[in-house]
């Protein structure tokens, strides 16, 4: 599987994940209660869905700016989703910890705790007891029970039941399995982030190779020989306007990753030795043929020999045609 195919499959998982935001908005139309945190997650999912659809069109076109934006958006979306997952996970464990104990009226729930409590199947009793004993107070003479006498219901709990709490809710068997599955899925998500960043770097470096081959100059303008020239520099066509500022901002974070030297140096050798490292004697770079550099220098300075005049067609006589036949 190629790197581009992997990125397209990852984008497909983003679309499936973000389309759930529409169902959350539809739940509001039915009068269902959602917390402000849940509402913000639904709105964010819808915005992320449209942004992903827009950027996904440029994967096959290998647009460096859009591919960089898609990779950075996926990395940021991973952090945002991790925050939402942690918030709702804590709310769920708080609901588990509040049962089977009595919950005081007006006690605060976690984010989304009301909806979790409504849909989790808990009956939420006012008193959590395992047995009820009815004790009647005799009102008649001789211990005869008469109608209308007072009775008291006394609840007794199970003495062998351990005290519930947040720790017991987290470390029960079902919760441990859920945490394990979620952790495994997030490990896969982190791997997807690496794939997205690798594809964006590949597109960016291919763009640098093409532009350096068509617009090569003796001085690259880069202060370090270990880094390639920023394709979103202010003096380049891609660096103009807000797109150039956005590109420079994305490349500035982890500049060595985007523009630095590879360990194998394959893509830099393909650029004709544009990256030079005087300290590494084992690095082989492509050297120009003898005399090519001098001719190129004289051509650029205008001191080279004049170009030969174009050959004009010579007139042909009929006698030469007869002699040829």
Instruction: Please tell me the predicted confidence (pLDDT) of residue 309.
Output: 66
Q: How far is CA 223 from the centre of its chain?
A: 32
Instruction: Please tell me the predicted confidence (pLDDT) of residue 36.
Output: 87
The residue ranking higher by pLDDT, 177 or 218, is 177
Both tokens of residue 58?
Answer: 């440029």
**Cα 93 to Cα 170: distance, rounded to the nearest angstrom:** 6
Bridge partner residues of 153 (DSSP): 134
Look up the pTM and report it. Answer: 0.61
Closest by Cα among 251, 262, 209 to 71: 251
Would you say residue 271 has pLDDT above 90? Answer: no
Instruction: Please tell me the predicted confidence (pLDDT) of residue 50.
Output: 95
The residue ranking higher by pLDDT, 158 or 236, is 236
**Cα 10 to Cα 117: distance, rounded to the nearest angstrom:** 33
What integer best gives the mean pLDDT of the chain? 72
CB 66 within 8 A of CB 55: yes
pLDDT in tens, 235-266: 888 888 898 899 999 999 988 888 877 655 55
């Amino acid at each position: 599987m190629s790197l581009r195919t992997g990125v397209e499959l990852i984008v497909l998982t983003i679309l499936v994940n973000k389309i759930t935001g529409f169902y959350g908005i539809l739940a509001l139309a039915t009068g269902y209660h959602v917390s402000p945190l849940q509402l913000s997650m639904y709105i964010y999912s819808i915005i992320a869905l449209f942004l992903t659809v827009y950027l996904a069109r440029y994967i096959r076109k290998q647009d460096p700016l859009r591919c960089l934006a898609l990779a950075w958006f996926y990395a940021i979306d991973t952090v945002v989703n991790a925050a939402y997952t942690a918030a709702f996970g804590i709310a769920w464990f708080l609901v588990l910890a509040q049962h089977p104990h009595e919950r005081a009226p007006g006690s605060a729930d976690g984010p989304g705790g009301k909806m979790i409590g409504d849909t989790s199947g808990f009956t939420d009793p006012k008193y959590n007891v395992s047995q009820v004993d009815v004790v009647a107070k005799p009102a008649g003479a001789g211990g005869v029970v008469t109608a209308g006498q007072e009775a008291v219901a006394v609840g007794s709990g199970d003495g062998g039941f351990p005290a519930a709490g947040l720790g017991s809710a987290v470390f029960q068997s079902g919760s441990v399995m859920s945490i394990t599955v979620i952790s495994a899925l997030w490990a896969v998500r982190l791997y997807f982030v690496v794939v997205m960043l690798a594809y964006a770097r590949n597109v960016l470096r291919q763009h640098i190779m093409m532009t350096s081959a068509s617009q090569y100059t003796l001085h690259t303008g880069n202060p370090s020989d270990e880094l390639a020239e920023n394709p979103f520099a202010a003096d380049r066509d891609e660096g103009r306007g807000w797109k150039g500022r956005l590109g420079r901002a994305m490349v500035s974070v982890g500049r060595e990753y985007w523009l630095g030297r590879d360990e194998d140096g394959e893509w830099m050798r393909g650029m004709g030795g544009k990256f030079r490292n005087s300290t590494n004697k084992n690095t082989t770079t492509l050297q120009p043929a003898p005399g090519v550099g001098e001719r190129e220098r004289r051509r650029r300075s205008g001191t080279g020999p004049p170009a030969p005049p174009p050959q004009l067609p010579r007139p042909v006589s009929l006698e030469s045609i007869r002699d040829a036949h």
